[in-house]
Structure 1
Amino acid sequence: MPTISMFYGIIIRMYCAPTEHNPPHFHAYYQDSKAIIDINTCELKEGSLLKKQLKLALAWAELRQEELLANWKLAMNGELPFKISPLS
């Protein structure tokens, strides 16, 4: 699962597999925590992050939603997603 962005200790990854389940989503990791975030709604779907890191990941998702959806399409075709700018 390639890393597509990193910011404030949060690692963002997306599976590259046509068999990956819908809805479009990405995985966010912070220390020992993992969350799955829906790209369409920019909401937490599974898992958990610390409150501050979850807010950062959700804000990033809203700002980068179009890029995330483009990456999802690539990933569903078995292609590697591109890197997306972090929060700064």
Structure 2
Amino acid sequence: MPTLSIFFGIIIKMRHDDHPPPHIHVEYQGFTALVEISSGNIIAGDLPRKVAAIVNEWCETHRIELMSNWEKASQFEPLDRIQGADRD
């Protein structure tokens, strides 16, 4: 599963040809969650509250890039890296 971004120990990934709704896979210190791109809300799994808030804000900031990657993933095209919330 391609990694889109890593920041503050949070790993953001996206699978090719994944099921709707458009979402990302988030990993953080043993926690895993699926986060809907359009809302930034957790749709499956669990994250610490502060991490969920950071990911929600990051999704809002990078929604266009995330949706572009979702479209690329649906066509099995290479995905683009996205700048992290820590600006790395």
What is the TM-score with the length of structure 1 in the denominator? 0.94
How far did residue 24 of structure 1 move? 0.4
Matches of 2:33 and 2:74 in 1, distance apart? Answer: 20
Opposite residue 54 of structure 2, the aligned amino acid is L
What is the TM-score with the length of structure 2 in the denominator? 0.94
- What CA deviation, in whole Å up to 9, does each residue of 1:27-86 have, x standing for no partner? 010011001011112211010111111111111001000000000000000112100000
Stretches of 4+ aligned residues off by more than 4 angstroms: none
Q: Partner of 2:70: helix, strand, or coil?
A: helix
Uncovered stretches (5+) of structure 2, i.e. residues with no partner: none
Matches of 2:55 and 2:14 in 1, distance apart? Answer: 14
Q: Partner of 1:37: helix, strand, or coil?
A: strand
Determine the structure 2 residue equivalent to 1:2: 2
Matches of 1:64 and 1:26 in 2, distance apart? Answer: 12
Matches of 2:11 and 2:54 in 1, distance apart? Answer: 11
How far did residue 16 of structure 1 move? 1.2
Matched, 1:39 2:37: yes
State the percentage of identical aligned residues: 36
Matches of 2:52 and 2:8 in 1, distance apart? Answer: 11
| Range moving further from structure 2, 52-61 or 66-75 | 52-61
Uncovered stretches (5+) of structure 1, i.e. residues with no partner: none
Matched, 1:59 2:57: yes
Matches of 2:84 and 2:69 in 1, distance apart? Answer: 15
Matches of 1:87 and 1:47 in 2, distance apart? Answer: 21
